[in-house]
Structure formats: structure tokens, C-alpha cells
Amino acid sequence: MRLTENLNGIWDFSYFGDDKPGYPFATTEVLCVPGCYDLMEPYCGKRGYAVYKRQVFTGGLVDLFIDGAGLDGEVFCDGKSVGVLKYAYLPEHIIFDAGKEGCHEIAIVLCNKYNEVFEPYFDFHGYGGIYGDVTLTRIPADYIHSVMISTEDYLTGKLRVRASAANNFSGKAELIFDTGYSTCAEFADGAMDVEVTLPEFKLWSEKTPNLHTLTIKTATDEVTETFGIRQIKLDGRNILINGEKIKLVGFNRHESHPEIGAAMPPQLIAADLRMLKNGGFNYIRGSHYAQRKTMLDLCDKMGIYVWEETLGWDFKAPKLHSPEFQAAQLDQAGKLTVSSFNHPCIIIKGYLNENESEKEETRVIIKAVYDKIRSIDPHTPITFASNRYEKCVCTDIVDIVAMNPYPGWYDSKHGCTSTNDNVKPRLKELSEAMPKDKPFLITEIGAEALLGFRDPLKTYWSEEYQAELLKECVEYALDNDDCAGISIWHFADTRSYVSGPHIFGRARGFNNKGILSEYRQPKMAWYTVKELLKNKKAK
Ligand code: ADA
């Protein structure tokens, strides 16, 4: 049995601005973990280094788990660097030897300055802080890690179980399922890869979110993983879960709150998900980064389909083609694929949102990241969301064609005013231009609307205009078999630019295309789309 200690709570803290702090880390005040320091006075909006530190009573080999932090950082134990955090939001396990049993200082040095993978032009705010839970687990020398359980056949309960164990561990392992079924397997040179057919099992889907657990026991270690049995298949334009055709209807969602930033507590994440599920929606595109374990656990349990993607936004040449950047993309794609592998809610893996996919040379990175994910995950459909539409030359590489069209907003030729009723024709035209043998998803679509701006003339930025536009878009997705689903841009208004040229299209510094305000107050479109779903389902 592993012993895990939750390290959330009060940590010592100091903000250092431009100066990278060195050991011993002097701290002057306290802050709470999880939390974003750049939302706290007097550091609001500042970009620089900060240290969180605390004492822990521990010893030997330990696994420090951080459920997302940003924008990047380094972890120290008693002043010695034990690991780095390179990608904002990515849940990370930092494994190190804490030394003798006793009191040790854990310090997390964070920096919220923009970096190679989080650029200042991204249309979402880059928060500095620890976004999720921090736990510390004592582990043995031959510890088990990277357990990956995939469904090979949903009809028979055939599973593939892969795991690694440190120290090139070789030896017996017991596999014990929650159903009571158990079997034996072997680790050889630190790796195990077996097929198991579970005699009694329940399938996972949006409507039946049944979960199972698998405990892997060796002579020295024992880990338990939660997973779901479900199989995703693509058939022409359709996405099938356990043989049944599904239609994805939901939202893009940022992990963001005006006062808490990216460190949303579980209650607030659950409130978002309940609102979505109770509203009749079944899907979230986790734009544009790794999702916290807490969020994925909730989606697993509540039955909500998730598209998860790597951190990124509109990367362009020459960066897109630089070897360093490409190496970082492969690295984060690999880490993300392993870290969220067992969540049945993830049915699509995405990367490189809105890249320059109209250029032939971009195919290299698109193919390389696809292959990296596929080398770890043999089954989950992989794709990227494109805004290059008919010009995109990379749709043959990916499994699903995903487009972010904005008829009626950026594309004003295809609006939905009384004189321009062209939203559905544009979606049809786009769909018809895409390969027929792959599912077609509308990954982003929407319009800005300022909460409270009601206008009978349905002017742009009014709640009425947004409601009318989204009704057209969702109706298209529901009524047309050529479209496997839609994720509205987006769930709630999200803090974006604070200054700089882009803010002029972002009233209040927020991306206001939320169907809810940043405090989750519904705009008119929320009721319109909810009603539409209810009526369609009733038919
Ligand atoms: C893009 C992008 C989103 C958001 C959106 C918008 O499609 O992927 O992150 O910025 O545009 O609101 O303009």
C-alpha cells in the first residue's frame, strides 16, 4: 500500500519579480495551494518568479504530484533541483529521493513570464501559480508507473494492460479487478504488456458512466488505477462508442475564473459540468491545454465526453518548423498521452490548435505529433482544430476533420441577420469540401455577446445576435448526418488580454463569446440552445 499525503493548504511564499531566486529560498508571506499568485494583490497582473515552499516529514523515494501549474517552474528538495515543470496545466509526477527520514523542504519555483510554449498573443490569460492538488506519495525503489489500460474489444471485455516498473524490475505481478476477478502477469526488464479478458464488466458511456478499478501488486509495490471499458470507432462520417453512433454537442471550456484564475476548486468545476450535463449537453473540448485530473475524474464519473489537447494556440512559421519547438511538442504530446490515458471520458486527442495547415511544410510537424501520440495510444482518434478550412492540406493525416468556422462573426459574409441568412449554407459548403470518409466536427463557432446588452435590432455583440447565430449552428449539427458534432466557442467568458493590440477586439479584456458570463450567469443563447436540444430530443 502506498501512503499519500495531501499537501494542499498554506505554503510559505515570496514573489521575486525578474530575479530568479536561489537557495536558500527566502519567503516573506503565506499563500494557499492551489492558487494563482498573480491574482493576489500586490502581484495582480505582474509577470515574474515566485517561490512556494513548505516542510514535509518524509524520506526515501517519493512521488510529488502537481495537478497542473504555470507557466513553468522547477521543484527543489532541500535546495536540490529534482524536476522541472515545462508545460502549463500539465499534471506532473516529480519523482526523487528525499533522503533520510525527517523534515525536508519542498520548494516550487514558478515563473509566469511567457515562454516558448506559452506566447503572449494566446487568446487566454496565462496565470502564474499552482492550479491543482499537490500530493506526496512514498514509493519503493521498484515502483510501478505509467499504467495504461485500453479496451481491445468492448463486446468481450478484452483489455490490454501495459505498465512500467523502475529499476528494470522483473518479477510477478497480481492483477486484481474491482469485480473480484484476478490474474497473474510478469514484469520483464521493467515492462509488462498483457491482454486480459474480464469476465464480468460494465461498459462506460455518456449514459452509463460505469468505472472499474485495477490493482497491480508486485512484491514491493501496489497501485490502483480507475478506468472505463469503452471502444471508439470511426465509420465514415460517424463516431461510434461501443458500436453506437453518437452526436457530440457541447462547448469549448477554459479552466478560468475571474477571481481564482486557473486554480478552480472542484466545487466550481463540478458546478460547470452539472450545468452542462443538466442542460442536455454531452461534450467538452478542453481548449487549449491538458485537463486537470480533477476535471477528468469528474467527467469520467458524470459521463461527459472530452477532447483533450496539448498546450498551444496559433503557432506559426518559423517557430512551427524549428527543431527545438518540434521536440517540445513531441515531448508534451507524449507526456499528456500517458498522463490521462485511463480516463474513458477522453475520446479525442488534439494538438496544435489552428496551425498553418494550409502550408505543405506544416505536414511534417502535424504527422510527427500524430505519430508520437499514436505510438503510445493505439486507439483514440487524433486530430487538430483548423481555421484554414478548404485550404487545409493536412486532413489526410488525422482521423477526424475538425474545423473552427466563424460564420456570422469573423466571416461576416455568412451571417444570420435578416439580410444575411447564410450560416447553414456555409456549414454545408464546408462540410462538403471535406473528406467524406472521416467524421467532420465543428470544433469552434460562436459570436461575442456582452451580458445585459439586449437589442431588438440584434446588433453584433448583443445577446440576441449570439442566441440567433448559435441556434442556427447547433440546429445544423443536430439535423445533419454529415456532422458528428459541435463544440460552441465557448462555455463561459474568459479572461484574455490585459494590454497589447489584441485587446481592442476583447471588450473588458475577456473573450466574450461565452454562452455564460465569467461568473456563469446565462446569456440568452444558453436558454435558446438548451430549449432547442430539449425539443429535438423530445421528437
Ligand atoms: C480561435 C481560437 C480560440 C479563440 C477564438 C476566438 O478559433 O481557437 O481560442 O481565440 O478563435 O474567440 O477568436
Nearest CA to ligand 1 atom 7: 404
**Length of the chain in terms of residues written:** 539
Q: How far is the CA of 205 from the centre of ligand 1 (A)?
A: 29
Please state the pTM of the whole predicted model. 0.97
Residue 511 in this model has a pLDDT that exceeds 80? yes
Q: How far is the CA of 311 from the centre of ligand 1 (A)?
A: 14
Quick one: fold of 3-138? Jelly Rolls (2.60.120)
User: Could you read off the pLDDT of 495-510 as tens digits, one per residue?
Assistant: 999 998 999 999 999 9
Average pLDDT of the chain, as a whole number: 97
CATH 2.60.120.260 in the chain: give the residue spans. 3-138
Q: How far is the CA of 393 from the centre of ligand 1 (A)?
A: 21
Task: Say which CATH superfamily domain 234-538 falls into.
Answer: Glycosidases (3.20.20.80)
pLDDT value of position 478: 97
pLDDT value of position 419: 77
User: Confidence class of residue 1 from pLDDT cuts 50, 70 and 90?
Assistant: confident
Q: How far is the CA of 402 from the centre of ligand 1 (A)?
A: 14
Candidates 288, 511, 512, 513: which one to mutate for ligand 1, based on the most atoms within 8 Å of Cβ?
A: 511
User: Confidence class of residue 266 from pLDDT cuts 50, 70 and 90?
Assistant: very high
CATH 3.20.20.80 in the chain: give the residue spans. 234-538
Q: What CA–CA distance (Å, rounded) separates 487 from 103?
A: 48
Q: Is 253 in the pocket of ligand 1 (CB under 6 A)?
A: no
Atom number in ligand 1 closest to CA 496: 10
Q: Detail the DSSP E strand segments found in 67-202.
A: 69-70, 72-77, 80-85, 92-97, 102-111, 129-130, 134-138, 144-153, 158-165, 171-177, 182-187, 191-197
pLDDT value of position 60: 97
Task: Say which CATH superfamily domain 144-230 falls into.
Answer: Immunoglobulins (2.60.40.10)
CATH 2.60.40.10 in the chain: give the residue spans. 144-230
Q: How far is the CA of 272 from the centre of ligand 1 (A)?
A: 20
At residue 268, the 3 state secondary structure works out as helix
Q: What CA–CA distance (Å, rounded) separates 535 from 531?
A: 6
DSSP class of residue 199 equals S
pLDDT value of position 430: 98
pLDDT value of position 270: 98
User: Confidence class of residue 418 from pLDDT cuts 50, 70 and 90?
Assistant: confident
Candidates 123, 392, 460: which one to mutate for ligand 1, based on the most atoms within 8 Å of Cβ?
A: 123
pLDDT value of position 317: 92
Q: Is 448 in the pocket of ligand 1 (CB under 6 A)?
A: no
